């Protein structure tokens, strides 16, 4: 009680001190400091020049008369009213607006964006993209309301006011009034300095939730996992080529610019970005056009307790340290420049305060937008006139930016001279000077010349900039010609080599000489060395066996070589088998490098065939290393996940290999060592059998956590219990040579050999789940063609927290949009019953988080798939004497052959869709068992079958029946003798047949056929319900 009273008194005291509309008056000390702050340092007396930094009065004259917002409509708008406002203007002005949603909040509210532009639905070449974002903190609402009013002004004045119409015609403006609609609904009108509704529905501060520049600075209020809103916004920021932005907050009155996070993680440390001068100008431009913000002094009437700002702006980290903010993340990871505006001292104002707040900010909002048209803009082309995507645009001052898919760039710059460098891996770098003026952005179109390929001083040609390091050398005239042709074509862009050069750096010598080139290669550590030469098409491996990648199939590789060079029938000497080549390789001293020689045939081919052949060879070798660039040499026996990676000490045991011993102690799984890896087997040992395997280090924690929960939650959680009672799970949390780097997967063929080896140990496995990263999506292999793999993939995506099977996966950009669900294929080589596969990709590569969130994000989806896997009919086939049948069975469903399988311990399982099915199970030596049953969704019907051996004459002489036959023969013989004696002494034998000792019985009216009873007895049909997740 006393605490509550003290809180109320304190709150009222703060409110009494705070005057949201007070003037800002500077002290002499503050005025002196202002003459030496960032604005004064960079711009000196220009800070008072209204032709450079527009005042409110200057903006009023420029804009002129316009239709302002109807005063009766200026009030707070909740989610429903905000949505109605946006839809109203979208419908009223369809030619200049487009309303879309970036995604949903935690509680399912749309993150609305209204585009206002001459062509709102498309990106128009040469038109910059601008955005405003409001209400990131739910209880800071001035920005939300101001953006709604800005929408009204821009729309209502289009075609009526020249200044406002020009903005719309020359800019594509994206306005998001509320980034945190859930938090807003938790706030309350009249909140001045409180925190109710600041966070989202999970009470996470979204402006602390982005991946921080310094991960160790992460703040508890920002949570440990990316929130739903944060993920949607990150995707949005990388989807559109935004040039300039402002994020509108509340609680003070100042324009804040990067960086927010300081290297030390301490408050009050000025942390300049490479664009510090530009950001100071952007911040001061907003502040100067405001009624009061630009003034030096203490804000909000808090006297000595308030914040004092010089010229109305502040470097974020100089004010207070902030890790995980949107402003810093956006500056580092996109082309966009963003500042943060604190729009007033009252976070959630009363309705009667909003008119004044809108009037204070409306000209600042318009003045800031002018800067999107400052600096330079243009396009970058190659010599053919095609746009160059991803060219790096670097300056003598400021961060680098990159060109869009259309070769576009926009670079906001202040007036002055700049040295500009344009670079791209496929083209010659171009450097020039540009003189930027104060007017509209200068248009500059640049053509990059094709790369002039010059070898190094050692005579080695270097191509590509990827992480995989490969040497390519020739040893004779044939290989010299082939490699030289490849070098000529790959000087500029070549479709055949483009992917290779993105993944690898090649060190190429058309004709190797030990004296000229050996020193160079000794100083470069390579993953692989490829030696080309004359000879019948085949490969020769020079390196020790342990250096040969386990996924390299030499036989398959040689077969492909022979197909490429099929027309080359001339016989010739194989130069790679010369002892001098072996000596040459040994002298290079590459003990840890995969060394492979490739014979290219005996005569020169046409240029295209030669280049295609080398590209295919390189693609094969590079592909092996690109999918697992960093490798470990053995299976880890220590926790492979960082124990402090978002886990409490008690949770580390569940999420790492340290938990295996605990699982064994609880006797909830069988641990099976398989050479360099270990498998954990859970469940009933009955079908269906599923293999779940982590193929990256980051996803090992997910599989370990799944194992721990299977062990501990089976009794408390009905879903876990049902899965374990009705199926078998084989978990492989770690694999040898696991991958340390995140990347996407175009194929799962590299895992084919490992999966095949595991299936030799677990032959009943017919479904494999591979857990990786490289996106938030699923890929499947429908090996048996039943369509079940696709169904399960869709099930996984639908049950996942972040996936939507009907939309592109959230990690991809517009330029590289990827489906959330798509198919892959095995290699096609012959191997034992290739299983269906589900490749689950659990995280974007740009995520800087750990792996602690992966299990919770994927748990529901995993359980949904494992539950769906058990849907159908299962049971046991036994003989009439209760012995299990272990035999080959042919199973048909609804008259169609379904599968041929061997019954182990008499158990069988058939996956079936919901509905009524007629099933036939046939085993040699027994009549077929035919029965009908109904399968319900997410349920397993158990149907046991009892077989009786049919009678045949030959079965009498079966050793198992011989004793019974002998006893029966003796009994029958005895009875026959007795009857004979009776007949001889009575009745017929004595001439009195009516005294035969028997009464004649009438015939029965019902005829019986016992053949069915003799052959098959069906019983015990019931259902096992699978609880839906």
User: Would you call 496 helix, strand, or coil by DSSP?
Assistant: helix
Measured CA distances, 328 to 249, 315, 341, 373, 927 (Å) = 15, 12, 14, 22, 74
Are the C-beta atoms of residues 218 and 328 closer than 8 Å to each other?
no
Q: Is the torsion defined by CA of 711, 713, 719, 721 positive or negative?
A: positive
Helices (H), 240-383: 276-288, 316-319, 326-333, 351-369
Q: Is the pLDDT of residue 882 over 60?
A: no
| Residue 490 to residue 480: CA distance in whole angstroms | 15
Task: For residue 551, give the nearest of 748, 841, 734 by alpha carbon.
Answer: 748
Are the C-beta atoms of residues 434 and 420 closer than 8 Å to each other?
yes
Identify whether 259 is preceded by a cis peptide bond (ω within 30 of 0): yes
Q: pLDDT digit string (tens) for 314-340?
A: 999 999 889 999 999 999 999 999 999
| Residue 923 to residue 950: CA distance in whole angstroms | 13
Q: Is the pLDDT of residue 1016 over 50?
A: no
State the pLDDT at residue 567: 57
The most confident of the ranges 12-26, 658-672, 761-775 is 761-775
| Residue 354 to residue 142: CA distance in whole angstroms | 8
Domains of the chain, residue spans: 16-373, 378-447, 461-626, 649-869, 872-950+1016-1025, 953-988
Contacts for 659 with CB less than 8 Å, ≥ 6 apart: 653, 704, 707, 708
909 φ, ψ to 5°?
-150, 135
Q: Is the pLDDT of residue 635 over 50?
A: no
What the block records as the tokens of 397 is: 């001052």
Task: For residue 389, give the nearest of 463, 448, 466 by alpha carbon.
Answer: 448
Q: How many CA atoms lie within 13 A of 1003 on its CB side?
A: 4
C-alpha gyration radius of the chain: 38
Please compute the mean of the pLDDT values over residues 934-944 and round it to a whole number: 83
Q: Is the pLDDT of residue 296 over 60?
A: yes
Give the DSSP per-residue string, 906-938: TEEEEE--SEEEEEEEEETTSPPEEEEEEE-TT
CA 901 to centroid of chain Cα atoms: 37
Centre a 10 Å sphere on the Cβ of residue 889 and count the other Cβ atoms it contains: 19
901's enclosing H/E stretch is strand 896-902
| Residue 145 to residue 29: CA distance in whole angstroms | 36
Per the DSSP assignment, residues forming a β-bridge with 888 are 902
Contacts for 403 with CB less than 8 Å, ≥ 6 apart: 379, 380, 387, 388, 389, 390, 391, 393, 409
Give me the chain's average pLDDT, please. Answer: 81
* Least confident range of 63-67, 673-677, 723-727, 850-854: 850-854
Q: pLDDT digit string (tens) for 692-729?
A: 998 887 788 888 888 888 887 777 788 888 888 888 99
Q: What angle do CA 174, 180, 185 make, to 5 degrees?
A: 130
State the pLDDT at residue 902: 55
Longest distance between any two alpha carbons in the chain, whole Å: 152
Per the DSSP assignment, residues forming a β-bridge with 678 are 673
pLDDT-derived band of residue 167, with 50, 70 and 90 as boundaries?
very high
Per the DSSP assignment, residues forming a β-bridge with 932 are 918
Q: Which class would CATH give 649-869?
A: alpha beta
Contacts for 588 with CB less than 8 Å, ≥ 6 apart: 518, 521, 522, 529
Reduced 3-state DSSP string for 563-590 = HHCCCCCCCCCCHHHCHHHHHHHHHCCC
Are the C-beta atoms of residues 486 and 497 closer than 8 Å to each other?
yes
| Residue 492 to residue 451: CA distance in whole angstroms | 5
| Residue 178 to residue 147: CA distance in whole angstroms | 9
* pTM for this prediction: 0.55
Give the DSSP per-residue string, 614-639: HHHHHHHHHHHHHTT-S--SS---S-
| Residue 672 to residue 682: CA distance in whole angstroms | 11
Dihedral (Cα; 322, 327, 332, 335), 10-degree rounding: -170
| Residue 415 to residue 413: CA distance in whole angstroms | 7
Are the C-beta atoms of residues 731 and 707 closer than 8 Å to each other?
yes
| Block residue for tokens 């019986």 | 1008
Are the C-beta atoms of residues 935 and 913 closer than 8 Å to each other?
yes
State the pLDDT at residue 492: 66
State the pLDDT at residue 1005: 37
Percent of all residues in the chain with a pLDDT value above 70, rounded to a whole number: 79
64 vs 722: which has the higher pLDDT: 64
Measured CA distances, 572 to 568, 583, 603, 614 (Å) = 10, 22, 9, 20
E-strand stretches of 139-197? 172-176
State the pLDDT at residue 17: 46
What the block records as the tokens of 857 is: 């994000």
Task: For residue 360, give the nearest of 53, 76, 81, 22 by alpha carbon.
Answer: 22
Measured CA distances, 233 to 102, 114, 243, 327 (Å) = 7, 15, 16, 12
Q: Which residues are catalytic?
A: 342
Dihedral (Cα; 249, 252, 254, 256), 10-degree rounding: -50
Contacts for 28 with CB less than 8 Å, ≥ 6 apart: none
| Residue 995 to residue 505: CA distance in whole angstroms | 112
User: Would you call 533 helix, strand, or coil by DSSP?
Assistant: strand
Task: For residue 926, give the nearest of 981, 956, 887 by alpha carbon.
Answer: 887
Please compute the mean of the pLDDT values over residues 877-885 and round it to a whole number: 64
State the pLDDT at residue 318: 93
4 vs 785: which has the higher pLDDT: 785
Are the C-beta atoms of residues 457 and 516 closer than 8 Å to each other?
no
Which CATH number does the domain 378-447 belong to among 2.40.40.20, 3.30.2290.10, 2.60.40.1120, 3.30.70.920? Answer: 2.60.40.1120
Which CATH number does the domain 461-626 belong to among 1.10.10.10, 3.40.50.720, 3.30.1330.40, 3.40.630.40? Answer: 3.40.630.40
Q: pLDDT digit string (tens) for 958-1002?
A: 554 555 556 666 777 776 776 666 555 544 444 444 333 333 333
* Least confident range of 255-259, 418-422, 972-976: 972-976
Identify whether 88 is preceded by a cis peptide bond (ω within 30 of 0): no
Task: Please give the CATH number for the structural domain made up of 16-373.
Answer: 3.40.630.10
The domain at 872-950+1016-1025 falls in which architecture?
Sandwich (2.60)
CA 158 to centroid of chain Cα atoms: 42
Are the C-beta atoms of residues 327 and 316 closer than 8 Å to each other?
yes
CB under 8 A, 24+ apart: contacts of 413-420: 413/278, 413/374, 413/375, 413/376, 414/277, 414/278, 414/281, 414/374, 414/375, 419/395, 420/376, 420/393, 420/394, 420/395, 420/396
What the block records as the tokens of 296 is: 């030096």
Q: Is the torsion defined by CA of 461, 464, 469, 475 positive or negative?
A: negative
148 vs 775: which has the higher pLDDT: 148
State the pLDDT at residue 804: 82
């Amino acid at each position: 009680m006393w605490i509550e009273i003290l809180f109320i008194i304190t709150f009222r005291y703060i409110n009494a001190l705070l005057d949201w509309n007070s003037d800002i008056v500077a002290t002499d000390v503050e005025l002196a400091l202002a003459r030496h702050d960032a604005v004064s340092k960079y711009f000196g007396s220009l800070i008072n020049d209204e032709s450079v930094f527009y005042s409110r009065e200057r903006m009023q004259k420029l804009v002129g008369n316009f239709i302002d917002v109807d005063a009766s409509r200026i009030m707070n708008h909740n989610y429903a009213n905000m949505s109605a406002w946006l839809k109203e203007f979208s419908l009223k002005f369809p030619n200049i607006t487009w309303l879309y949603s970036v995604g949903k909040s935690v509680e399912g509210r749309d993150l609305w964006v209204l585009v206002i532009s001459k062509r709102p639905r498309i990106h128009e070449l040469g038109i910059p993209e601008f955005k405003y974002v409001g209400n990131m903190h739910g209880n800071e609402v001035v920005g939300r309301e101001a953006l709604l009013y800005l929408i009204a002004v821009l729309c209502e004045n289009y075609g009526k006011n020249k200044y406002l119409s020009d903005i719309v015609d020359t800019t594509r403006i994206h306005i998001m009034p509320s980034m945190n609609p859930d938090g807003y609904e938790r706030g309350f009108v009249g909140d001045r300095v409180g925190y109710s509704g600041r966070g989202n529905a999970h009470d996470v501060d979204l402006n602390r939730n982005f991946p921080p520049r310094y991960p160790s600075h992460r703040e508890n209020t920002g949570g440990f996992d990316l929130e739903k809103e944060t993920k949607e916004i990150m995707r949005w920021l990388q989807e559109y080529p935004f040039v300039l932005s402002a994020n509108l907050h509340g609680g003070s009155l100042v324009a804040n610019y990067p960086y927010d996070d300081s290297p030390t993680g301490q408050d009050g440390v000025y942390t300049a970005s490479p664009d510090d001068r530009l950001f100071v100008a952007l911040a001061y431009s907003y502040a100067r056009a405001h009624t009061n913000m630009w003034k030096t002094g203490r804000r909000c009437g808090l006297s000595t307790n308030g914040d004092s700002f010089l010229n109305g702006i502040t470097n974020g980290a100089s004010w207070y340290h902030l890790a995980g903010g949107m402003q810093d993340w956006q500056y580092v990871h996109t082309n966009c420049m963003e500042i943060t505006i604190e729009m007033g001292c009252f976070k959630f104002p009363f309705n009667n305060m909003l008119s004044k707040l809108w009037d204070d900010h409306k000209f600042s909002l318009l003045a800031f937008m002018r800067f999107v048209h400052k600096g330079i803009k243009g396009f970058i082309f190659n010599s053919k006139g095609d746009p160059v995507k991803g060219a790096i645009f670097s300056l003598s001052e400021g961060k680098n930016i990159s060109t869009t898919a259309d070769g576009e760039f926009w670079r906001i710059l202040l007036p002055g001279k700049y040295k500009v460098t344009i670079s791209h891996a496929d083209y010659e770098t171009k450097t020039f000077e540009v003189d930027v003026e104060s007017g509209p952005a200068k248009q500059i179109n640049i053509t990059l010349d094709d790369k002039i390929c010059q070898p190094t001083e050692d005579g080695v040609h270097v191509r590509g900039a990827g992480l995989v390091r490969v040497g390519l050398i020739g040893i004779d005239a044939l290989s010299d010609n082939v490699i030289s042709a490849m070098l000529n074509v790959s000087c500029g862009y070549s479709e055949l080599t483009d992917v290779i050069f993105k993944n690898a750096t090649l060190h190429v010598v058309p004709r190797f000489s030990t004296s000229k080139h050996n020193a160079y290669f000794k100083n470069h550590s390579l993953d692989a060395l490829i030696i080309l030469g004359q000879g019948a098409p085949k490969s020769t491996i020079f390196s020790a066996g342990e250096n040969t990648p386990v996924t390299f199939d030499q036989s398959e590789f040689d077969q492909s070589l022979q197909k490429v060079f099929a027309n080359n029938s001339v016989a010739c000497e194989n130069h790679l088998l010369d002892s001098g080549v072996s000596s040459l390789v040994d002298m290079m001293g590459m003990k840890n490098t995969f060394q492979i020689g490739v014979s290219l045939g005996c005569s020169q081919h046409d240029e295209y065939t030669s280049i295609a052949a080398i590209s295919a060879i390189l693609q094969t070798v590079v592909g092996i290393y690109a999918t697992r660039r960093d490798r470990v040499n053995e299976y880890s026996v220590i926790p492979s996940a960082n124990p402090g990676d978002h886990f409490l000490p008690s949770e580390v045991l569940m999420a790492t290999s340290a938990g295996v011993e605990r699982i064994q102690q609880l006797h909830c799984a069988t641990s099976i060592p398989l050479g360099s890896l270990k498998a954990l087997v859970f469940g009933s040992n009955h079908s269906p059998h599923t293999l779940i395997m982590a193929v990256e280090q980051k996803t090992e924690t997910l599989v370990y956590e799944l194992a721990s929960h299977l062990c501990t939650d089976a009794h408390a959680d009905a879903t876990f219990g049902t899965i374990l009672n009705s199926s078998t799970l084989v978990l492989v949390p770690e694999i040898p040579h696991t991958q340390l780097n995140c990347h996407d997967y175009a194929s799962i063929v590299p895992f084919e050999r490992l999966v095949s080896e595991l299936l030799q140990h677990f032959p009943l496995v017919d479904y494999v789940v591979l857990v990786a990263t490289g996106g938030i999506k699923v890929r499947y292999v429908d090996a048996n063609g039943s369509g079940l793999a696709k169904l399960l993939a869709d099930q996984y995506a639908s049950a996942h927290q972040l996936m939507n099977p009907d939309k592109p996966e959230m990690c991809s950009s517009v330029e590289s949009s990827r489906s959330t669900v798509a198919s892959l294929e095995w290699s096609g080589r012959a191997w034992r019953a290739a299983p269906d596969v589900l490749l689950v990709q659990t995280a974007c590569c740009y995520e800087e988080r750990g792996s602690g969130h992966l299990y919770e994000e994927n748990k529901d989806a995993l359980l949904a798939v494992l539950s769906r896997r058990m849907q159908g009919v299962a049971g046991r086939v036994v003989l009439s004497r209760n012995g299990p049948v272990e035999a080959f069975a042919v199973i048909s469903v609804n008259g169609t052959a379904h599968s041929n399988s061997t019954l182990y311990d008499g158990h069988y399982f058939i996956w079936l869709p919901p509905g009524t099915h007629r099933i036939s199970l046939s085993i040699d030596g027994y009549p077929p068992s035919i029965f009908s049953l109904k399968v319900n969704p997410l349920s397993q019907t158990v149907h046991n079958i009892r077989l009786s051996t049919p009678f045949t004459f030959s079965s009498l002489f079966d050793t198992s029946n011989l004793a019974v036959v002998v006893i029966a023969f003796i009994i029958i013989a005895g009875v026959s003798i007795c009857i004979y004696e009776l007949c001889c002494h009575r009745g017929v034998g004595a001439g009195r047949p009516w005294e035969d000792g028997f009464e004649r019985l009438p015939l029965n009216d019902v005829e019986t056929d016992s053949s069915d009873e003799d052959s098959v007895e069906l019983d015990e049909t019931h259902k096992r319900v699978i609880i839906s997740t």
